[in-house]
Structure 1
Amino acid sequence: MKDIKQTWHTVTANYSHWLSFLLLMVVAVIVNPSFLSFTNLTNQFVQGAIVGICAMGMSLVISAGMIDLSVGSAVALISGLGVTLLNRTQSILLCLAFCLVFGLLLGLFNGIFITKGNIAPFIVTLATFSAYRSIINQLGQGGPFTVDKSLYDSFRSIAAGRLLGIPNLMVFFIIVSLVTGFIMSKTKFGRYVYAIGSNQQAARLTGIKVGRVKTLIYCYAGILYGLAAFLLASRLTSIQAASAGDGYEMDAIAAVAIGGTAMEGGRGKIMGTFLGVLMLRIIQTILVMANVPPFLSGLVRGIVILVAVLAQTRKKSR
């Protein structure tokens, strides 16, 4: 009996994200038997891909024991300026390069203030969350950033197109997840991230340049926010300054939390975050099928985060 109990604790500790994912899939199929159709499954990826790319960056940030609240505002700022540049240059490639580089610079900005200014990540990213949204609202003057009609079809096909029958957004999400998973599991940088999240002082004493690693974490996250902004602009072709990217930071944090990454840092798996993004989409789909008012989605998201963190706390106590 003791061995069975120990085995169960081991399984739930290491594969809780898989168990949760399978349980949600079962519930979704019970609610809607056609849920497992190819069209519906790919739609779950498409709906969650852009937030999922942001969540990959957030996964590194949280694994290092930090936080980033500027995600949604950064995506809005990058995508709005990206569309403006696209219209002026008529170059999709230049727009993509701008989004990635500008995202990197925004991440660098956060990282420098946190490491060199010795300011808590919560404070820095809360400030940039407000600042970025204010800037894009001022530039937009209440109006949208809309892609020129001459570029509409070619630009929208990037996000709305398909590769061998698979939606491009799904392909982007999977590739980013694989790259991030490789970085975190196969490189020294990934091990440094977990070491800093586990015990920053001990990491510093072993020779890890903590400040540099933290800055690089925000730079990598910023690049992913830039890619997400580019894909968002491609998918919508019209960016509303006041609402674009709204709530992305909460969705990203929720995906990381329910994916099993420790909110205090030091533990976590990219596969968990990947499944966490899909679980959020499945939960949203179940709510829609159950005719739950859309205004309550924020309440459900908050409950999901609380339950995930509570489960982590109890697991750590055991």
Structure 2
Amino acid sequence: MNYRHAFHAGNHADVLKHLTLARLIALLARKESPFAYLDSHAGVGLYDLGGDAASRTGEWREGIARLWDAADLPEPAADYLRVVRELNADGALRHYPGSPELARRLSRPQDRLLLNEKHPEDGRLLKENMAGDRRVAVHLGEGWHIPRALLPVAEKRALLLIDPPFEQPDELERCAQALQEAIGRMRQTVVAIWYPIKDSRQLGRFYRDLQKSGAPKLLRVELHVHPASDAQRLNGSGLAIANPPWGLEEELRQLLPWLAERLAQTQGDWRLDWLIEEQPVVARHATPAAGRKGRRPQGR
């Protein structure tokens, strides 16, 4: 439990993850009925880019800083950048929203947020940052238990973000297991799994595990800032999204080329395709039985 997201806040991976999360929330909010947002590895919710941790790596300079003054901002990126700018009202980029803060600000009064963070210090900070919002419940437990502990939810609609630290070698496998468990407990859940792009062989196994999850449909979204040739370097990141709301694929086709150009460090690229395509519903027609009650089939 050495991972602290503050070192990586606002980097290119956060930009992809949080832009996509903002669009998922916006598309779910098109319907008036409430939804629950669940975050398995939530972090602290709010980050100081001028603090010691973020300053040590400076990763945000290759991420959110490149979008901060963008004049050619695509319309689907507006909600995400609006939240970042609200947190930096004086015009200087200093504060960055993690997924809990982004979800809190973009969700509606009728929606509910169920956040989990295992790291003791980060969990305490998360509670402090979310204090005062009655829609928010903070749990301090094992993130992998969230699907079985909190699903199904009373709202009938749910968005689950799975974003582990990837400190352990089996975490890609556990992500696929968590997806299977979430879909098994509440089939209509929108599940978004963030993952790093490093070792292509590990990713190949991960994709195959995802395809066996039983999800009704599964969209793969990836953004590269380097060619995928160095297994020790974060070449990019991706999101596997089960049950994506209608309209997301079209919006991402608009956003991803722009992000690849803006965030490329040596070579930018992107991918958007389906790991599981939605199966068409096969219509069934009743066929009259050979012998109905009150009639006997004719003999020879």
Under a length normalisation based on structure 1, what TM-score does the superposition of the two structures give? 0.24
Give the number of the structure whose residues are more often strand, by fraction.
Answer: 2
Which structure has more RCO (C-alpha within 8 Å, separation ≥ 6)?
1
Under a length normalisation based on structure 2, what TM-score does the superposition of the two structures give? 0.25
Higher-Rg member (1/2): 2
